[in-house]
Every structure is written in C-alpha cells, then in structure tokens.
Structure 1
Amino acid sequence: MHRVKAAELVSSRELMVNLTLRELRGKYKRSVLGWTWSLLNPLASMVIFTIVFSFFLKVKPPVGDPSGLHNFAFFLLCGMLPWNFLNNGMMGGMSALIGNANLIKKVYFPREILVSAVVAAFDVSFLIEMGVLAAALLVAGNFMIPWIPVALFIIAVLTMFVLGIALVVSVLNVYFRDVQHLVGILMMLWFYGTPIVYPITYVPKEWKGLPLRHIYTFNPMVRFAETMRDALYDLRIPSWNDTLFLVVVSVATLALGMWVFSKLEGRLAEEL
C-alpha cells in the first residue's frame, strides 16, 4: 500500500510542479505591487512589532554571541520569517482541498499534492524573504555566508514540519468546517507562546516549582526560532540537541500527517 502511494506521488511530480507554479502565479494576480507584497508584509510586521515591543515595552534583544550584533529588527526577523512560513503554510494548506473541490471530484490523483503545492509555493516566498534578510545582515556587517547551509537545513526541516501539520488540518477541515476557526485562535495563542517578539530569557526559569523555560522548549517553534537565530544572528552552530529534536519531531509530524490524510481521504469527493 505504501509502495503504491509512493509510486503515485513520484509519477505525479509534474502535476506537483504545475500546481505549485499555479499557486505562485495566482498569489498576487492583478495586484499592482505583485511579489513586492511578499517583502512588504513581513517588513510591515517588523516595523509594528519593533515600535511596540522595542520602543514602548522596552524589550531588549540579546547581543549576538559571538557576532556582537545587537539589533531588535534582525533578531525579530530571524524568528518572525520562520513563523510566517508556518502560519501561511498551515492556513493556505488548510483550504487547499476545499478550494479545489471541483478538481477532486472530476479526476483522480494523489490529493496530498494539492496541499504540498500550497506549502511549496509559500516555501518559495519564504526563501526569497530569507534571502533579503541575509543581504540586509551582510550590509549591517554580520558576515553570515558560511552559515547559509545551516539555515537552509533548518528551512528543509521546518518544511517537513509545516507540511505534516498542513496535511492534518486540510483533511480535517473538509469534514469539520469549524477547524479553520479553531486553528486561527490556536495560532494566535501559539505565536505569543513562542519567543518571536521577545527573547526566551524573558521566560522565567521556574514558575510555581515548574521548570517553565525548559517546558517552553518542547514547543518546536521555539527551537526553530532559536536555531535560525543561532545561525544568522549569533553566527554559531545550533546545539545538536535542538537540531536532533527538530529533525525527529518534523519527521514524526510529516509521517503522522500522511497517515491521517490517508485514513480520511477516501470520502473527500463525497464530503466536498
């Protein structure tokens, strides 16, 4: 069964490419600024959060070790861009099946490809945004070129994690339309429960006898943000513990996502 599914996915790779290109072309169709929005949106978020958290709430980023970089905007973007990819990939993937209901009803093909194409399209945007961030870091004197392979590895692992979650929420959303509203609320809680706009050092080490900061690190997005900051902000290799944790969690999440999807995809055409 698994070999048949794998063969179907491999034979549908051309369809996957075409659907991804369709997503990319349609993303900013009839927009005056077009792909510029993929840069303006994170920049606008950066400006807003920098003003609120850095100037008003006086949140101070750590000094890069050993880079010596001390800049809230760069600290924020190193965590914000991976988070935006997670959020966009999940929310976009969640509507992938419903948005292609007619296609699903007319012809058979591996349904996972619809979700994968959406995530892949957001991955392209994510890579462009990270490229702009890398260029800005270089201009600021943070020579992070040797750490680009590390950042690309983190992005690859994050893509597996995002795709796994997107597969689950996309198929659940077909059967239970309340999922999209619930996910929106959960994403808001997840965002502020992750040290994106504040350093993890702001989280108390202990709270009522509980090792709160240690518990925090079981949130995969904490480690994704921290490892990306290790590579691009601090200019150092992320810890092996963090890296191994992320690889294991991401592979497990992708496997779980594919399993849940395979169990529920049988009645998609009828439910849509």
Structure 2
Amino acid sequence: MSVIGDLKDSRGLLVNLTLREVRGKYKRTLLGQGWSLLNPIAVLLIYTLVFGFVLRVPVPIGENSGVQIFALYLACGLIPWTFFSNSVTSGMGALLGNANLLRKVYFWRPTLVVASVFAWDVTFAIELLVLMAALLIVGSMPLPWLPLLLLAVVLLTVFALGIALMLSVANVYFRDTQHFVSIGMQLWFYATPIVYPYSLIQDQADRMAADGNGFPLETIYRLNPMERFVSVFRSMLYDNTWPQWGDVLFCVVVAAASLGIGIWVFTRSQHRLVEEL
C-alpha cells in the first residue's frame, strides 16, 4: 500500500494521537498550555541578556520594517529552531515511548512520529501568533507575508518529520542515538545564525580571504538547512521582505529529500521494530 494510502487510512488515529500529545504535554501542571509560551519566553530572555546586553551582539535593522530590537530579531530565528529541535527530539522517542501500544495493536507505525511532530505544530502556531502581535506593536507589518509564512511552516514541519522518522528507527536499534542527537543539536544550534547575525560570518569570510585563506566558510555555512529556514522566517517577520527565492527553493528541496529518505529508512527498517522494543 502506498504511503499516502496508509496515511489516509490512519487519519483518525493520527488525529487522536496528536490530540493526546497536545493534551498530555503539560498534563497536571498548574499553567497547562501556558508553558508553551513561558518556556520560549524564558529562553528568549536568557539569550537576550547574555548576547544582547552582555556580549553586545550587533542588531541588524529590519530592511523594510525599520525595527532594531534584539529580542524580536532573536525570536524570529529562535522560535522556528525550537520547533524543529522539539519535533525531532520528541519524534525520535515516539516509538520507544509507545512500545506497549506497538506490541498490542497493528497500525501504520509512522503515525506515532507524525503525531508527535504535529503536536509541536500547535505550540509553534501559538508562538508565531504572539510574535506577530509583538512585531505589530513595534511597527513591523508581517501580516502580508502570512500565506508564504504558512508555506515555510509546512516545509519546516516536513523537514523535521523526515529527520524524526530516521532517528526514531535508529533510536530503537541503537539506544545511544538520543545522546548523540542531544550533543548534535547543541552544535547545530550554534552553527546556525540565531543568536548572532549572518553578517558576522560574512565579515569573518572576508577577513579570511584578505589573509589569503581560501577556505569557503560562507559556502559551507549556507549548506546548513536551518540557516536557510531561519533566513526565510526572518525575511518575512523581521524585515518584511520577500525571502530570497534561492533560500525558498533550497528549503523545498531539503524538505522533500528529508521526508523521502525518512520514509524509505523507516519502511526498510520497521519489520523488526516490535522485536527490538
């Protein structure tokens, strides 16, 4: 049966599992879904204090918006990254966390991973709405970019889902996967211009070129998919400009490749999943 057919047959289960993930994320907590806002706000404040006030990272001026606020510049990159990181991490553990369900009932196995990622889309949407409201207050106008912003959310979801599918299988067969991913995510975060502007990388590349060092720093940096995604979100939200079409095309290609490889890896490896659990 095709993947689309499997997903269509499992849509009822997918909806129920997604709702279960959303409701259970902050179950029995005093603030409930309020933590979906307080957690990123706390992280945002910490990074703003360290990088904005202590280290004095330069704050770019929004190209069309004219906004020059470090916290908002940071949020435009941090919120997409947080969604990506949480989706991959939770999706990676979806199979192990539902081992009993997998042993008892047969269903399309990737549904667990898809539901885990979709649940984080709900938090992502709330955070983006709050960010857009804050941008409107300071004079930015992100609303005209809403259709393209939704496309960017879909592409980032697809990209995260593909990686989560691959890692969820790897995590079943090799339990060290989660520890390697935890370290890798930290390195990936700082390799992406989130707490600092991309102009710092350009300046460093220029200095290396002036010193006769031909190392293609900027070219290698742009191979980072999350750098492209962050650039797309910041262009629309912070700068109020069209993102570079090269960045959008890059995001489309890596999202499609990630999902295709993820489904292929999962399909090839799922026959022994229950035994390994």
Q: How does the TM-score come out when normalised to structure 2?
A: 0.96
In 2, distance between residues paired with 1:83 and 1:6?
Answer: 28
In 2, distance between residues paired with 1:87 and 1:256?
Answer: 19
Q: Hey, what does 2:222 align to over in structure 1?
A: 217
Q: Hey, what does 1:51 align to over in structure 2?
A: 49
Deviation at 1:211, TM superposition (A): 2.4
- 1:150-175 Cα shifts (integer Å, max 9, x gaps): 21111110000000000000111000
Q: Retained in 1: the 8 A contact 2:142–2:237?
A: yes
Q: Retained in 2: the 8 A contact 1:205–1:214?
A: no
In 2, distance between residues paired with 1:68 and 1:92?
Answer: 37
Q: Retained in 2: the 8 A contact 1:23–1:121?
A: yes
Q: Hey, what does 1:230 align to over in structure 2?
A: 235
Q: Hey, what does 1:128 align to over in structure 2?
A: 126
What is the 5 A alignment of 1:182-193?
Answer: 182-193=180-191
Q: Retained in 2: the 8 A contact 1:53–1:59?
A: yes
Deviation at 1:195, TM superposition (A): 0.5
User: Equivalent of 2:62, from 61, 64, 79?
Assistant: 64
Structure 2 letter corresponding to 1:243: V
Structure 2 letter corresponding to 1:265: Q
State the identity as a percent. Answer: 54
Q: Hey, what does 2:205 align to over in structure 1?
A: 205
Q: Hey, what does 1:151 align to over in structure 2?
A: 149
- 1:72-103 Cα shifts (integer Å, max 9, x gaps): 01100000001001110011001100010011
Q: Hey, what does 1:24 align to over in structure 2?
A: 22
Give the superposed CA RMSD: 0.9
For 1:205, what is the secondary structure of its paired residue? helix
Q: Hey, what does 1:245 align to over in structure 2?
A: 250
In 1, distance between residues paired with 2:141 and 2:199?
Answer: 25
Q: Retained in 1: the 8 A contact 2:74–2:194?
A: yes
Structure 1 letter corresponding to 2:249: L
In 2, distance between residues paired with 1:40 and 1:185?
Answer: 24
Structure 2 letter corresponding to 1:121: A
Deviation at 1:202, TM superposition (A): 0.8
User: Equivalent of 2:106, from 98, 108, 116?
Assistant: 108
Q: Hey, what does 2:274 align to over in structure 1?
A: 269
Structure 2 letter corresponding to 1:143: M
Question: Is 1:176 paired with 2:181?
Answer: no
Structure 2 letter corresponding to 1:15: L
Structure 1 letter corresponding to 2:83: F
Deviation at 1:269, TM superposition (A): 0.6
Structure 2 letter corresponding to 1:247: V
Q: Hey, what does 1:86 align to over in structure 2?
A: 84
Q: How many residues align?
A: 270
Q: Retained in 1: the 8 A contact 2:232–2:247?
A: yes
Q: Retained in 1: the 8 A contact 2:65–2:139?
A: no
Q: Hey, what does 2:136 align to over in structure 1?
A: 138
Question: Is 1:13 paired with 2:11?
Answer: yes
In 1, distance between residues paired with 2:65 and 2:116?
Answer: 36
In 2, distance between residues paired with 1:160 and 1:17?
Answer: 17
- Segments of structure 1 that go 5 or more residues without pairing to the other structure are none
